[in-house]
A = this chain, B = another copy of it.
Amino acid sequence: MSATKKSTLVLVAERAGVSIASVSRVMNGLPASDAIVERVQKAADELGYVPDATARSLKAGKTQQIALAVADAGNPVYVAMMHEISRVVTKAGYRLILSSTGSEPGDQIDLLTNLNRGFADGLVMSPLKVTDELVARIQASRLPIVVIGSLPGDVEIDNVRADSVRGVGLAVEHLVEQGRQRIAFVNGPVDTVPGAARLGGYLRALDEQGLPHNADAQVNARDFTYKAGLKAVTKLLDRSTPDSIVCANDLLAIAAIKVITARGLRVPEDIALVGMDDTDLAELANPSITSVNLGSVKRAKTAAKLLLRRLEDPDAPVRREVIQPTLTIRESTSSPARPAVDPAANPAARQAAGETAPATPEPTRNQKREPLL
């Protein structure tokens, strides 16, 4: 630890024989005579001077930092979103602060008061549960906040969400096209935003396909994890015999594969499987999992850009974006004969966007309409 003493503007100014203002100007590329520039450069180099970020922040009133709050940090979909946000904000010259909060709204509210300390210029958050108080606190925040995920009603908060209802619709339609009729649903907790939305989508899709609701074919895992998925799928198969399952995320789908194969059944021959989120896991699983791509990366990118936009224009109109889902078809719903695995080209994995017949009365293309749930 050869701690070379920290050098400041003053030290550089003394060594160069100029004022601190001149040093500052040179460091920031503001106009200065060649003679001064040269002397300051030299002195700064010799001292290894780099301007202090904290002092700069205090003066400027900007930290060049953005905070990211995710509730369920174990879920790969949030990891992917985090990376994307990191990419976008880094490119714009911001640092990313990771604030993994608990899943309860209280934790997020704590974070919001903390935010007022001004350690970041803005916040991207993806709350699992949304309460009125949380919404109120977000609106009352002095700093710009972008929310990933659905918000109730018409609150004026920059926000970008997935169309989960349509997403589950894509999954069910696809299964029906494959000739499946007894379509079960493994959900996470329904008191979460995604849980509620996905349940709504499932019921609506059944209606649209003219399929009956069957309480035995629905089960809610305690949370969106693999472990909870094992329990839930076991329970499901103990009480019903579906020919296919839609899982509310890829972790649950992987758990389903595990339970199904352990019972000597085959995927997709005996039970076809669709996951959601289209994370890396869906590709890695064996068999690979057909998954609803809810545009997580795109949502993350959009959210980051919305925040950057608001940072440079605080008075911009509130934007509320909806990202349309697509379906990535893989082995878990493909024809019985599994294709040989060739790393160069996996013919089973392709993007099937809104190609399937639209089942909703109104087209889902209008990104500006109100949240469906």
- Shortest CB distance A159–B (Å): 13
| A87 CA / B97 CA spacing, docked (Å) | 13
Contact B2 A139 (CB under 8 A): yes
- Shortest CB distance A352–B (Å): 22
| A6 CA / B141 CA spacing, docked (Å) | 11
Rank and list the top 6 A-B pairs by shortest CB-CB distance, nearest first.
A230-B343, A262-B341, A53-B119, A53-B117, A54-B57, A54-B58
Known A55-B58, A113-B50, A341-B258: A97·B96 in contact at CB below 8 Å: yes
| A139 CA / B2 CA spacing, docked (Å) | 7
Contact B262 A340 (CB under 8 A): yes
Residues of B within 8 A of A142 (CB): 3-4, 6
Residues of B within 8 A of A135 (CB): none
Of A209-217, A279-287, A321-329, the segment with at least 4 beta carbons within 8 Å of chain B is: A279-287
Residues of B within 8 A of A226 (CB): 280, 283-284
A350 at the binding interface (Cβ < 8 Å): no
| A–B complex contacts, Cβ < 8 Å, 23 sampled | A1-B144, A3-B314, A50-B117, A52-B117, A52-B118, A53-B119, A54-B119, A73-B83, A82-B98, A86-B98, A86-B100, A95-B99, A97-B97, A230-B341, A230-B343, A231-B343, A251-B284, A254-B284, A258-B341, A261-B286, A262-B338, A281-B284, A286-B286
| A55 CA / B156 CA spacing, docked (Å) | 31
Residues of B within 8 A of A65 (CB): 97, 119
A interface vs B, CB < 8 Å?
A: 1-4, 6, 48, 50-55, 57-58, 63, 65, 73-74, 76, 79, 82-83, 86-87, 90, 95-100, 113, 116-119, 139-142, 144, 156, 226-227, 230-231, 234, 251, 254, 257-259, 261-262, 280-281, 283-286, 314, 338, 340-341, 343
| A54 CA / B92 CA spacing, docked (Å) | 21
Residues of B within 8 A of A73 (CB): 83, 86
Residues of B within 8 A of A3 (CB): 142, 314
| A318 CA / B322 CA spacing, docked (Å) | 52
Contact B100 A83 (CB under 8 A): yes
With contacts A53-B118, A55-B58, A227-B343 known, what are 15 further pairs, Cβ within 8 A? Answer: A2-B139, A6-B118, A6-B142, A51-B117, A53-B119, A54-B54, A74-B83, A79-B79, A86-B98, A95-B99, A95-B119, A97-B98, A226-B280, A231-B343, A286-B286
Residues of B within 8 A of A251 (CB): 284
Quick one: closest B residue to A95, CB to CB?
Answer: B97
Residues of B within 8 A of A2 (CB): 139-140
Residue among A100, A226, A314, A343 with max Cβ neighbours from chain B (10 Å): A343
Residues of B within 8 A of A343 (CB): 227, 230-231, 234
Residues of B within 8 A of A100 (CB): 83, 86-87, 90
